[in-house]
Structure 1
Amino acid sequence: MTMMLASKIGGSIITRRLPQGSCRHFSAIRVEKRPRGEDVISNTPPPLRRAVGRHIIDAPTVQSIFTSSYSARDTRHTPCCHRRLSTDEASRWEETGRKVTMQDLSAEELSALIEKHAHHPQTSASLQTLMRTGRGEFLHKTYSNLDSSQDDKVATERVLIQVAGFLRHELPIRLAHRIQDLEKVPLMKDMPSVVQVKDLYTMSFLELISFPKRIKTASEEAAFAKIVEGIYERHASVLVQMARGAFELRAAIRSGQVKPPSRRRNVGASTTTEEQIGGTSVVEFEQMEDSHDFLDRFYISRIGIRVLIGQYLSLRQTPVENYIGIICSKTSPYEIVRRAIDDASFMCTRKYGDAPEVIISGRLDFTFPYVPTHLHYIMLELLKNSMRATVDWHGVDADYPPIKVVIADGKENEDVVIKVSDEGGGIPRSNMNRIWSYLFTTADPAIQEGMVAFNENVDHSIDSPLAGLGYGLPISRSYARYFGGDLSIMSMEGYGTDAFVHLTRLGNTREPLAK
């Protein structure tokens, strides 16, 4: 029997004819016979399906399984049932750029291939390096005989080829490091959503190393860009998937399905190994340092991967004034704060019917090189937290005290500092460490359960599926730290909270690379 397989890549549907027996690797899929002799691949029970010609394919199956095995640039038939490749053969195959999938490799061979790339060191980049590369200041390192009289089009093509070559080398290494981390993290590695993320990273890793190592022409660069763009889009939901994985672990711990390692904890003058709640010894997810260290590493690395890909894809677009890729050379903290105020006020008004006033003071005319989307995410998180705390503390329909934002900078300052101050009742001292813990939130547990059901392909927005999950502050701190800054919180219980955002002015701090 011959089947038609459909896969969704880059927004288009690609169909391929598979040989008999090709589906034997997909144990969760059945082939049904429809009227008029149609072969249909489906899950049981069938979720939402997508019609492709006469064939009906389950959308989740298309995205999670088949997109990894076929790419838009290679429409040749690739049988799933040929002999296994040895580790040496896999390495030699990579040198030629021949296509291979997860079905071509045994677990041992795949692990060896990942280990080979994870053994290589990651290359750290700074804001300045990204900007100078985008301007073509490092072209001489790739093209020693570069003619400075070349026109802008040729120079731009060479910049793109240079950046694409770097990503072809760097991305598999970074993905390999994260795959190994996902395989080793205690407890979380067994959560269904975390397993899905690991498989997604593995698929992207194999897709990247399938592409020839040396990118020499504009057509090769364009083909590589399509692959990278597909990876960028597919990985957009990873933030939510990992949030779901952390939520699954916490639920498993609370239900007793998973027993976390004991943790020594100081309680006054005595020391206990576990927290006593209602006579039962439990360890809260928020206290599991190994899991949170892993999530910090994972999200810092994810920011780095998305910055590199986002910068590359943006360089391929029509230039925008004052922008080099995703970096704005004249980022205005004042303008970013204003937009964040508008968004936070909208969210607050939608929920409470009103929002506190926000007063901005300090250096309102100052600009510096930065990634505006990162700063907007940080400021939106801080402002919406302050607005919610203010309304909750003073009550709906009260005369709210204003939230104050101060932008500080001086010629001798090493940092741009933004302070957000509110009178929203503050945070108890016992909770100060926990505010940096993933999934620690004062939101209703029912809201959390509803939020983890989302799988939106967005990192953050005013309708972010992460709202209420407790991810805002730790992710904001990761964004601030990525280019050498930081985020700190000081609070006075019964009065209010001050948040301090530190951003490096010079942009010469290299990104922190998670091991």
Structure 2
Amino acid sequence: MQTLPYSALTNEHIGHVYELYYAAFERFRKVPEIHTLVDNDKFCSVLNHTLKEHLSVIPKLAMGVLEIQDQIGPDQCDRLMTTLLRSRISRRVIAEQHLALNETFNSPWHFPNAPKPKRDGTASATTAAEDDFIGEIFLKCNAKDLVEKCAATATSLVTKAYGSDVAVPKIILQGHLDTTFPYIPSHIEYIIGELLRNSIQAVVEQKGTTEPPPIEVLICEAQQHVIIRISDQGGGIDRDILPHLWSFAKGPRRHKRLRNLATVPRLKATMQELEVSKSQTQSHASSMPSSANEISKNYASSLSSLSSRPPELRLGMGLPMSKIYAEYWAGSLELHSLEGYGCDAFLQISRLGNKNEVLSTRASMDAV
């Protein structure tokens, strides 16, 4: 960020993000070397505080990028946004993984010969919760369950926004429905949730109260990766928007996106993107194994809050953010549009450990 022109860095939103990272750097560099569990607990407190403090980064960064285009141009804005988001993912994954492993270590079932909790919360001497999780990484993410959960959330939000009289398309699942793979649940749920939300909204807005065509989800499993194809008949993407589909800064709806983003930090009178309601949080937690509940309750996730935003709040960054998350974990996201008919989205998920993840190096940051 220090390589930006001074006029860009004086933007209030970019300046806010800069100050957050500067304060985080100052906070971390003063943490003494860790020698004991007490030292580690103090460090975890610093991590937890910083994670919560940085929940405002994404909307502030997006607003700043839209506002400073006159100083540095949309192409450089996109490179800046992509590099910063990859860097942000790296840091949050490391921090959340440390907190999750620390929570696992302090759990009663972590110690030898302790009864292990099942998914239903009851104790069992043979079923270990840590068998399914390594920190934040869930080893048995089920593709069918993920799609159904994200579809239910998106359907509920669309019904609430457009009214109960609007016909919501059905989700038809096909292919290898018993496919499982290791992944961080919040990341994959965000990507699939954004794709399904876009498809459901497109179909609903085109068909209205008439019987809508279903959205087809095909799950394909191979040795090295899993592919999820989401096909809708929502009319496709407008020709003027299609070239800027993966851009944070370009496109004809810049000012509308800026207005929507400006409302986000104030929706719940907090600096978070969106604050998940208590009922949503409980619903999300109840669908996860008990060990994940213990881990996730200690710090907030900006992805879960973004996923629960109202459908009418179009931020213009769901697809480019989803692409960054997919590519970060050595996967890919492509979208093919037939204007006047519909869209096919292809999400490729690499099985973790088979490829090098797309990390941000210092050289790539300096190249911005």
Match of 2:53 in 1: 234
Q: 1:507 aligns with which of 346, 350, 353?
A: 353
Match of 1:93 in 2: none
What's the CA shift for 1:470? 0.3
Whole-Å separation in 2 of the counterparts to 1:446 and 1:512: 32
Q: Output aligned runs, 1:242-257, within 5 Å.
A: 242-249=61-68
Match of 2:37 in 1: 218
2:209 aligned with 1:397 = yes
Match of 1:470 in 2: 316
**Per-residue CA distance 1:302-332 (angstroms, 9 max, x = gap):** 1111111111111122364511111001111
Gaps of 5+ in 1: 1-181, 251-257, 262-287
Whole-Å separation in 1 of the counterparts to 2:77 and 2:177: 40
Select the structure with the greater relative contact order (CA < 8 A; seq sep ≥ 6).
2
**Per-residue CA distance 1:405-437 (angstroms, 9 max, x = gap):** 1110133xx221000100111124453230111
Q: 2:88 aligns with which of 288, 294, 302?
A: 302
The residue type equivalent to 1:298 in the other structure is L
Q: 2:174 aligns with which of 361, 364, 369?
A: 361
Whole-Å separation in 2 of the counterparts to 1:329 and 1:300: 23
Q: 1:348 aligns with which of 137, 158, 163?
A: 158
Higher percent of residues as helix: 2
Q: 1:457 aligns with which of 260, 264, 272?
A: 272
Whole-Å separation in 2 of the counterparts to 1:440 and 1:464: 22
Whole-Å separation in 2 of the counterparts to 1:246 and 1:465: 23
Whole-Å separation in 1 of the counterparts to 2:310 and 2:162: 19
| Alpha-carbon contact 1:243-1:452 (below 8 Å) kept | no
Change (3 A) 1:401 1:442: farther
**Aligned to 1:436, what secondary structure does the other structure show?**
coil
Whole-Å separation in 2 of the counterparts to 1:188 and 1:360: 47
**Per-residue CA distance 1:386-422 (angstroms, 9 max, x = gap):** 111112222x1111000111110133xx221000100
Change (3 A) 1:209 1:373: same
Whole-Å separation in 2 of the counterparts to 1:454 and 1:308: 26
Whole-Å separation in 1 of the counterparts to 2:151 and 2:253: 21
- More deviation in 344-353 or 496-505? 344-353
The residue type equivalent to 1:404 in the other structure is E
What's the CA shift for 1:489? 0.6
The residue type equivalent to 2:243 in the other structure is N
The residue type equivalent to 1:405 in the other structure is V
Q: 2:14 aligns with which of 187, 194, 198?
A: 194
Whole-Å separation in 2 of the counterparts to 1:478 and 1:188: 24
| Alpha-carbon contact 2:326-2:332 (below 8 Å) kept | yes
Whole-Å separation in 2 of the counterparts to 1:433 and 1:443: 13
2:26 aligned with 1:206 = yes
Change (3 A) 1:314 1:259: closer
User: Pairwise CA RMSD of aligned residues?
Assistant: 2.3
**Aligned to 1:315, what secondary structure does the other structure show?**
helix
- More deviation in 224-233 or 438-447? 438-447
The residue type equivalent to 2:217 in the other structure is V
Whole-Å separation in 2 of the counterparts to 1:416 and 1:409: 5
**Per-residue CA distance 1:173-227 (angstroms, 9 max, x = gap):** xxxxxxxxx1223564332111111011001101101112x32211111111111
Q: 1:407 aligns with which of 219, 222, 228?
A: 219
The residue type equivalent to 1:361 in the other structure is Q
**Aligned to 1:497, what secondary structure does the other structure show?**
strand
| Alpha-carbon contact 1:440-1:470 (below 8 Å) kept | no
What's the CA shift for 1:447? 6.9
| Alpha-carbon contact 1:426-1:495 (below 8 Å) kept | yes
Match of 2:293 in 1: none
| Alpha-carbon contact 1:426-1:496 (below 8 Å) kept | yes
| Alpha-carbon contact 2:194-2:322 (below 8 Å) kept | yes
Whole-Å separation in 1 of the counterparts to 2:100 and 2:3: 34
**Aligned to 2:139, what secondary structure does the other structure show?**
strand
| Alpha-carbon contact 1:304-1:511 (below 8 Å) kept | no
**Aligned to 2:177, what secondary structure does the other structure show?**
coil
| Alpha-carbon contact 1:240-1:465 (below 8 Å) kept | no
**Per-residue CA distance 1:251-299 (angstroms, 9 max, x = gap):** xxxxxxx4666xxxxxxxxxxxxxxxxxxxxxxxxxx211101101111
Flag the structure with larger Rg.
1
Q: Output aligned runs, 1:169-184, within 5 Å.
A: 182-184=1-3
Match of 1:484 in 2: 330
What's the CA shift for 1:463? 3.4
Change (3 A) 1:349 1:190: same
What's the CA shift for 1:444? 9.9
Whole-Å separation in 1 of the counterparts to 2:328 and 2:95: 15
What's the CA shift for 1:507? 2.8
Whole-Å separation in 2 of the counterparts to 1:388 and 1:442: 20
What's the CA shift for 1:446? 5.4
**Aligned to 1:368, what secondary structure does the other structure show?**
strand
| Alpha-carbon contact 1:482-1:512 (below 8 Å) kept | yes
Q: 1:293 aligns with which of 61, 72, 79?
A: 79
What's the CA shift for 1:441? 7.2
Q: 1:386 aligns with which of 195, 199, 202?
A: 199
What's the CA shift for 1:378? 0.4
Whole-Å separation in 2 of the counterparts to 1:403 and 1:346: 16
Gaps of 5+ in 2: 111-128, 266-270, 274-301
Match of 2:186 in 1: 373
2:142 aligned with 1:332 = yes
The residue type equivalent to 2:333 in the other structure is L
The aligned length equals 297
Whole-Å separation in 2 of the counterparts to 1:240 and 1:444: 14
